[in-house]
Amino acid sequence: MNIKYIFLLFILSGLVILSCERESDCYTKTRETYYTVTLSVTGTTSSVDILRVIKRDETPDTTYFDDVTLPWETDTTTTGDSWVYLVAHNNDSTGTVTAAILLNGNEVIHETRTGAFVQPAVSWTFLGEDFTEEFTECP
């Protein structure tokens, strides 16, 4: 083989090696991820009153829903430390009521009560580390 071709092959090989990412150039970063929290009330009763509390940072967001027909559901988005509380009051003398909290469509907690004027209540704490993910970035 001609010495020019060997030299050219040597230079091209070096360029290929230099253009590849080096492990030492990569670094790990953290980013917030967004999650959908669903609050749900279902059951066989005709009417409920609902209290929903969502606490992010220091200020709670408290909302009262009066004389709600079931099923009922509301969504919110969170990225960090949050506390969610949901209670439903059966306005009828019979029936079943279920209160539930879901994270990205997956149930994390629920409570079902049956009878006159029952009040199923659920709460859940979402911690900041639950809402971050690590990924590797290479320049």
Task: Map out the domains of the chain as residue ranges.
Answer: 29-135
Average pLDDT of span 9-38: 64
* pTM > 0.95: yes or no: no
Please choose, from the candidates 101, 36, 44, the residue with its C-alpha nearest in 3D space to the C-alpha of residue 69.
44
pLDDT at site 43: 97
How many residues belong to the chain?
Answer: 139
Average pLDDT of span 126-139: 66
CATH code for the structural domain at 29-135? 2.60.40
Please choose, from the candidates 104, 37, 102, the residue with its C-alpha nearest in 3D space to the C-alpha of residue 75.
37
Provide the mean pLDDT of the chain: 82
